[in-house]
Amino acid sequence: MEKYTRKVISLLLLSIAIGTTANAQEIYAGRYKAIFTQEPENVPTGKTPDGPLAGNGDIGLTLGGDGSHLRFFFGKNDFWRAYPVYPGGGIAFPGFMDLKIDALKGADYYAEQLPDSAFIRARFSKGDLQVNLKTWVSANNNNVVVELAANKPTKINLGLHAATGNTSKTAKGRIKDVFWVTRSFEGTDLLEWPAHVAIALKGIGKAIGSDGTLTLNKDEKATLVLTLYTNFDRKKWKEKAIEDTESLTGNIIKQRWSEHLDWWKNYWSKSEVRIGDLFIEKYYYASQYFFGATSRGDKFAPGIWGPFVTKDSTAWGGDYHLNYNYQAPYWAAFSSNHIEETENFDQPLLDYMDKGRSFSKQLLGTKGIYYPVGIGPLGLTTTHWPLTADEMEKRYGTRDNTIDNGYKFLGQKINAVFSVGNMLMRFYSTYDKAYAEKVYPYLLECANFWEDYLKFENGNYVIYMDHYNEVMPNLRNQGQWKHLLGDYNSTLSLGLVKMLFKGILDMSDFLNQDQSRKAKWKHIVTHLSPFPVSEKGGFLSLKNVEKSPSPWQQGVNGLARVSIHGLVLPGGVCGPKTDSAFNAILLNDVKNWEKKTTTKGDWGNTFGNGIETCFPAAVRVGYSSDKILGFLKDRIEVQSLPNLWITAAGGGIETLSAVPLTVNEMLMQSYEHVIRIFPNWNRNKDAEFSNLRAYGAFLVSSKLGAGDIKYVHLLSEVGRVCKMENPWPLKKVLLKRKDGVIELKGPVFEFETQKGEQIELVPFN
């Protein structure tokens, strides 16, 4: 009976895999893997690669090539060419390792990307020859490990290479059994700081020949280990890479594999969802895997493409784009309880504050901070206009490269404030005093700017010249763009400014700082101009801006990706409970997305950008969860990669929050500090979740079955008062805690908690 059951389950899982997409992906052991039956088509690339991926939040490994010529591309979040213009500046490509097996020309290709344990497994077969490969990036160390085995004697030619060009200096050599290469950027004009990387390689159990050859005997296993260090990892980056590689042994690698498994086991234990939809779950967990492989709290923050960089001069320099791309990858991490992986977010913003103050004073004559559209780490500006008028004309259709003193602000004043949304998400999710003290100066400088920049007219604060979209010269408008400037009361600006002042009021109370300024801040919150709406088709609908000279911003536009940023994500100033009448307007706008969808997958106009924004926002305003999931499946099927990465035209890692945040918002919400259980979920569909993080620093678990919520479990991390919508509106609720049971009732209730306390709530007739 047991053998029969296993066979049925295996067949079921296989049929699910075949019926899902053409990419031959399948469910495996409760988690999901990507399966590849042909070599990647889009490696190398200036955007997201389509090959198998592994990473540790600092080092990224992309597997390219076929069985006879594999190429291991190594990316690193802290290796930048600190040059202010792209192409040329931005995240840089360290190098690669080639693995050539002539006997496998024309071989069958099979590879798996396994998120549970974060490794890649592959098999290459031709005739009676089979070579097996396993490769992983150590979760806790700067090592990449490649394990090889063959069923008959096989010759392998290895090559370790640093990337070249783009003003870099490279070197290579061999010390004892260790091969090494280096790449450096230093000593060139306008370079803000030097960057160096070393990659060292050796064989364990079987040394690599002096000519780079490795011969495997029948059923023999060999292990290749690489170490990657930059000058930000170690002061003696080259020496340490070589030294540490030389010291590695089989037992050390075995121990690091065990520690690697423990790290990922802990990562997956942070939270869990089960919704009975295998397709959505597959992309939910794939996205969580990629985020864990992309971001590590104590390392440099990832740029647009994360550490999966396969060439220099990736799109937009792979920088930190501040008008949503940089912020969006983190949005699901807060509710998914992956707080540790968000630690790196704030540092680039804090490092840029001196420049931001200077821009604000010199360019606008205001206090506070004013940020351009793109920055990098360590105070780097990535978005200078081209340095020559000729290059400016070639790329943007005008010879004026002195716009805004040569920096790309693109008509937007809101870039610094955009990141406040992430800071507030983390603050409200943890109530960590040390964190609040760290970011409060940033919020304060944003408040200083907007106190100074806002105009008070006819009883309301208004916003001039902060633009809903980027406004800039380009080849399409032939450099004629200044007539488009003049947005007045953009919904993006109004929402984010309201978010800022509501948030700084909360944080200043928490830290007991700047009490004398609260009256002004409250006045701004209560007297900021209302969000612009107008009648269209017999209904009120949102306008992008109240007034604008731009033809694209005139008329009634309805809720869209950019306005969502101000109002819902990360703005968080709107929702069904915030203002039900205004939410009804937004909900009707979302309903109209369906009428405008003429191409499968483009609901909400998300092919270009916005999948991480429009889908969870539709959940928040109350649109049908079943319809949202249906449209989400369409979007993924039309535009995703074999490695399970959901792609967008305008960015890379931003899409990693799309599915997790959409699902999390369906199962649990806590905006405005009220916890809501299954707030937008079809109650006829069973679902459960564990340890989703709610505002107030609560970890929440619950289960829905046969139409009823069975329980709510709560862990209070810091002991705040908990406010919750009654999960059983027509029933009383028993609250069970260690020291007794109390009865709660009503549509919304509050109760005290203690730090570290575990609480259970169940219905009571």
Give the DSSP letter string of 481-504.
-GGG---EEEHHHHHHHHHHHHHH
Q: State mean pLDDT over 702-706.
A: 97
> Which positions ≥6 away from 714 have C-beta within 8 Å?
698, 699, 700, 701, 722, 753, 758, 759, 760, 761
Structure confidence at residue 1 as a pLDDT band (50, 70, 90)? very low
Helical pair 278-294 and 2-20, crossing angle rounded to 10 deg = 80
- Spacing of C-alpha 129 from chain mean position: 41
pLDDT tens digits for range 559-572: 999 999 999 999 99
Say yes or no: 374 and 450 in one domain: yes
Say yes or no: 262 and 296 in one domain: no
Q: Which CATH number fits the domain that encloses residue 745? A: 2.60.40
pLDDT at 556: 84
Say yes or no: 532 and 625 in one domain: yes
Task: Check if the beta carbon of residue 755 is closer than 8 Å to that of residue 738.
Answer: no
Q: Which CATH number fits the domain that encloses residue 522? A: 1.50.10.10
- Answer yes or no: is 277 within a domain: yes
- Answer yes or no: is 687 within a domain: no
Q: Say yes or no to pLDDT of 27 above 60.
A: no
Q: State mean pLDDT over 600-625.
A: 96
Say yes or no: 711 and 667 in one domain: no
Structure confidence at residue 479 as a pLDDT band (50, 70, 90)? confident
Q: Which CATH number fits the domain that encloses residue 205? A: 2.70.98.50
- Answer yes or no: is 607 within a domain: yes
The domain of 747 spans 695-764
**Residues in a beta bridge with 541:** 534
- Answer yes or no: is 686 within a domain: no
- Answer yes or no: is 682 within a domain: no
- Answer yes or no: is 501 within a domain: yes
Q: How many domains does the chain have?
A: 4
Say yes or no: 243 and 179 in one domain: yes
> Which positions ≥6 away from 15 have C-beta within 8 Å?
none
- Answer yes or no: is 262 within a domain: yes
Say yes or no: 451 and 554 in one domain: yes
The size of the chain, in residues, is: 765
Say yes or no: 400 and 518 in one domain: yes
Q: State mean pLDDT over 514-519.
A: 98
The percentage of residues in the chain with a pLDDT greater than 70, rounded to a whole number, is 96
Q: Say yes or no to pLDDT of 734 above 50.
A: yes
Structure confidence at residue 577 as a pLDDT band (50, 70, 90)? confident
Say yes or no: 300 and 201 in one domain: no
Say yes or no: 226 and 343 in one domain: no
pLDDT tens digits for range 85-141: 999 999 999 999 999 999 999 999 999 999 999 999 999 999 999 999 999 999 999
Say yes or no: 31 and 41 in one domain: no
Structure confidence at residue 650 as a pLDDT band (50, 70, 90)? confident
pLDDT at 201: 98
pTM score of the predicted model:
0.95
> Which positions ≥6 away from 228 have C-beta within 8 Å?
59, 74, 76, 94, 142, 143, 144, 197, 198, 199, 241
Taking alpha carbons only, the member of 209, 316, 183, 196 closest to residue 654 is: 316
Structure confidence at residue 555 as a pLDDT band (50, 70, 90)? confident
- Domain end among 222, 252, 269: 269
Say yes or no: 446 and 513 in one domain: yes
Say yes or no: 320 and 412 in one domain: yes
Taking alpha carbons only, the member of 682, 677, 735 closest to residue 703 is: 677
- Answer yes or no: is 120 within a domain: yes
Burial of 628 (0-12, 13-18, 19+ CB in 10 A): buried
> Which positions ≥6 away from 176 have C-beta within 8 Å?
246
